[in-house]
């Protein structure tokens, strides 16, 4: 069990978010309200950027479609 914990603890996916959170808390003097506000603000920024990227991909995909005009209409 101890070896499992040691292996999992040194994974970058686990350590990096903890270090970022610790740095943020030290910067804001361990004020949890400010930390939560900053985390919510950064999360909303990431969500906004994701939606912009998704919308631009969708727009580029729609531009690639060529509509052929039917000349046999009434």
DSSP character for 67?
A: P
Per-residue model confidence as pLDDT tens digits over 55-64? 877 776 665 5
Average pLDDT over residues 33-44: 95
Q: Which two tokens stand for residue 58?
A: 């969708």
**34 vs 28: CA distance, rounded Å:** 7
R_g over Cα of the chain: 24
Neighbours of 34 (CB within 10 A): 14
Q: Which two tokens stand for residue 46?
A: 């990431």
Q: What's the pTM value of the predicted model, to 2 decimals?
A: 0.60
**46 vs 58: CA distance, rounded Å:** 18
- Confidence check: pLDDT of 43 > 80: yes
In the chain, what percentage of residues exceed pLDDT 70? 80
């Amino acid at each position: 069990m101890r070896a499992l914990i040691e292996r999992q603890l040194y994974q970058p996916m686990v350590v990096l978010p903890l270090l970022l959170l610790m740095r943020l808390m030290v910067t804001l003097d361990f004020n949890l309200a400010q930390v939560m506000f900053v985390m919510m603000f950064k999360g909303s920024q990431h969500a906004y950027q994701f939606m912009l990227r998704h919308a631009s991909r969708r727009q580029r995909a729609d531009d690639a479609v060529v509509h052929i005009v039917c000349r046999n209409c009434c």
